[in-house]
A and B are shown apart, each in its own frame.
Chain A
Amino acid sequence: MAFEQEAIPWIDDVYRFALSLTRDESDADDVVQDTFLRAYRSWHTYMPGSDCRRWLFTICRNVFLRSRERARPTVELDATELDSIAVGSLYSTAVRDGFDDAFTRLDLAPAITAALAKIPEPFRSTLIIVDVEDQSYESAAEVLGVPIGTVRSRLFRGRRLMQEQLLTYASDAGFGPRPASARAATKCLTHSAGTSRQTA
């Protein structure tokens, strides 16, 4: 297959991914351009029949990291159970305050875009790859260069942070009081468990 048929059609996906990484449209433009340029020059290394979008995402992330001239984000978490319980707490508060159906009653697109910008790396890129771009854990692991278990832990933390943001947005939009109690409970659980850690 030619570059035109295999790679070019993924420009929208690569742009979204680049924008999620850079959080700046101008920087995203540069990353997308460089991604496709590198992809074109490396086209002979692409294996026909493999997942071209995944291949482009990998290049895109590498371009982004090089452009920032900084090391790969190093925060790793193994607190997925804690995140799951914290999300349960958020849900309880949403039910109690009457906005548990906010995800269907509101047009959340502006809120999602704004909330994504506030999610720190590496959680944001993981969330984008799996939940927005509908890639598998395996694909995300390959793009991000981490084990599948790390994808899972990053994804769960990213989803938890997104739910906190979106439920606060729903509250502000008039669905109920700000879920401060949920955030307090979440923070309390996080701090008391102390399972977050930094790795080099």
Chain B
Amino acid sequence: MLDTLSGDVTPDCLNVLLHVWDALDHQLSPAAADTLHAHVAACDRCRDYQRFQVRFLQALATLRTRQGAPRHVRLRVIDSLMTAGYTPR
């Protein structure tokens, strides 16, 4: 993607490079998002780049489902809460 900066880069490709994460995070205005998405739909290079970034973010999100509090932490929390007056039902 950066290679394009020294070659046949278009303003639309540069816009994708700078704002693809803003778009994926829903941080762009509707008009800016439409412009970016329209170019991505028409440009193979930018579509591949966006797909790469989507997969990266999906890989990070998998961590959420893989790691939770160990049982001993849960028991410790409940124990300390009960000492403070908490009564589980």
Contacts and interface: CB of A to CB of B under 8 A. Distances in A.
Interface residues of B, number: 43
A11 B63 contact: no
Given A84-B21, A85-B18, A163-B56, A33 B73 contact: yes
B2 A103 contact: no
B84 to A, nearest CB: 6
Contacts of A161: none
B66 A109 contact: yes
A156 B77 contact: no
A199 interface: no
A85 B5 contact: yes
B88 A4 contact: yes
Given A37-B80, A159-B56, A134 B18 contact: no
Contacts of B20: 84
Contact of A132 (B48, B55, B64, B77): B64
A103 B25 contact: no
Contact of B1 (A33, A91, A132): A91
Contact of B52 (A12, A40, A103, A133): A103
B69 A12 contact: yes
A152 B22 CA distance: 9
Contacts of A14: 69
Interface string B51-74: 011011111111110111110111
Overall SS of chain A's interface: helix
A123 interface: no
Given A11-B74, A12-B69, A132 B21 contact: no
Interface of B: 1-3, 5, 17-22, 25, 27, 48-49, 52-53, 55-64, 66-70, 72-74, 76-77, 80-81, 84-86, 88-89
Interface of A: 2-4, 11-16, 19, 25, 28-29, 32-33, 36-37, 40-41, 81, 84-89, 91-92, 94-95, 100-101, 103-104, 108-109, 112-113, 116, 127, 130-134, 137, 152, 155-156, 159, 162-163, 166, 185
